Amino acid sequence: MTQDELKQAVARVARDYVADRLPVGGILGVGTGSTANFFIDEIAAIKDRIGGTVASSEATAKRLQRHGIRVLDLNDVDAMGIYVDGADEIDHGMAMVKGGGGALTREKIVAAVATTFVCICDASKRVAVMGKFPLPVEVIPMARAHVARELVKLGGTPKLREGMVTDNGNLILDVHGLSIADPVGLERQINQVVGVVTNGLFAERGADVLLLATDGGVETCTR
Ligand code: 5RP
């Protein structure tokens, strides 16, 4: 199967997961990226049973609205049953690297509100140790150089993502050369650097459920 076929397959299983587990009228968080886009296209078929969605990016909000799916402001939502999103890497402890699409901050906020985080990805994203995919860090523009120096002290090689301004008006530093043996510790350490808005490690709040598309079918893994 091609990678797109795997993404399509996992999106279908995620749609069924939502149809089975989200109470009718419940609120669904929706992630960002190509796998999330397949998922959005799938949930158009069940939009009448979803009370509303919260989007993790402007791009996702637009795609949801094109399907006629209701998009809510997170501040108007008291509880969210399920958040479905992709990942750039996921380890066996269900910690993830995210932010390849630059939406990490809103993704982390939506994930924090959701009861269940369902990660959807193809098998190429499952790794023993994260870090091969450069770790995205969203920074306040005036702090870019300071944060970059601090990330070097942590053992990484930060590179500014050219031409990228996030939905929040900030910049992204992609940190190369990390081998992330302690995802929770590194997530906390980077969060301590003044000028960092969010880093792409989703370890303190990892995935609760992983739907993993393989050539043999979609596997369900839980914490
Ligand atoms: C966007 C993300 C995405 O979930 C991640 O980049 C995976 O994207 P894709 O499904 O296109 O491989 O974190 O900020």
Decide the pairing of beta strands 50-55 and 26-30.
parallel
What is the atom index within ligand 1 of the atom nearest the CA of 103? 14
Q: Can you give the pTM of this predicted structure?
A: 0.97
Region 30-57: mean pLDDT is 98
Phi, then psi, of 26 in degrees rounded to 5: -75, 165
Whether 150 is catalytic is: no
Three-state helix/strand/coil letters over 54-107: EECCHHHHHHHHHCCCCECCHHHCCCEEEEEECCCEECCCCCEECCCCCCHHHH
Give the distance (Å) from ligand 1 centre to CA of residue 26.
Answer: 24
Residue of 42, 107, 138, 187 with catalytic role = 107
Q: List pLDDT tens digits, range 129-162.
A: 999 999 999 999 999 999 999 999 999 999 999 9
Q: In this prediction, what percent of the chain has a pLDDT beyond 90? A: 99
The sign of the CA dihedral 139, 142, 148, 150 is negative
> Among 5, 32, 166, which residue has the most ligand 1 atoms within 8 Å of its CB, making it the best to mutate?
32
What b-and-e string marks burial along 104-129, b requiring 16 or more CB atoms within 10 Å of the CB? bbbbbebbeebebbbbbbbeebbbee
What is the atom index within ligand 1 of the atom nearest the CA of 35? 10
160 Cβ contact list (under 8 Å, min separation 6): 144, 148, 171, 172, 173, 174
Q: List pLDDT tens digits, range 44-95.
A: 999 999 999 999 999 999 999 999 999 999 999 999 999 999 999 999 999 9
Distance CA 198, CA 138 (A): 5
